[in-house]
Amino acid sequence: MDADARHRGPARPGTRDRAGSDLSDTQLDEVERRLVARIEGLEAQARDLRELRRRLCPPTGAVDAVRRMLDVHLEANRLQFSAAVAALHGIGDERFGRCADCGSPIGFVALERDPSATRCPTCAIRRPSLI
């Protein structure tokens, strides 16, 4: 089973509830495509980081520092992966594409840049994300 099938939410093109979204079906399809690609990339990155960490032995000095750095990257990867999967599953939700802080539309340009964005550009500047 590919990442597209594993992580796809219940929403499918043509069956989305468009009640709260300012995005067209074409734009939602593009955001969905970008989210699936991001998830696949994050899965590959996590595999590579785990393999690199596994190959580092024994934990001493610089190697220990590299392991800690890899752990930080793996945690960032996990957070980004979770955000991407949540966004993919939320595409059909009426709140998708709306700012979690102010309720304004996030906008297609911002979602093209970061398809898992949950804040409009104005609120994102005021309260930046940790991932």
pLDDT, one tens digit per residue, over 58-93 is 656 777 788 888 999 999 999 999 999 999 999 888
The pLDDT score that the predictor gives to residue 9 is: 46
Continuous segment of H or E residues that includes residue 112: helix 108-113
CA distance 108 to 2: 26
* 3-state SS, residue 60: coil
The pLDDT score that the predictor gives to residue 58 is: 60
Per-residue pLDDT band for 104 (boundaries 50, 70, 90) equals very high
The pLDDT score that the predictor gives to residue 43 is: 95
The pLDDT score that the predictor gives to residue 18 is: 47
- Confidence check: pLDDT of 6 > 50: no
Domains (range + CATH), the chain: 21-126 (1.20.120.910)
**Per-residue pLDDT tens for 39-49?**
999 999 999 98
Residue with tokens 């840049």, as numbered in its chain: 113
The pLDDT score that the predictor gives to residue 129 is: 67
CA triple 31-35-39, angle to 5 deg:
175
**Per-residue pLDDT tens for 28-65?**
999 999 999 999 999 999 999 888 877 876 656 777 78
CA distance 120 to 97: 9
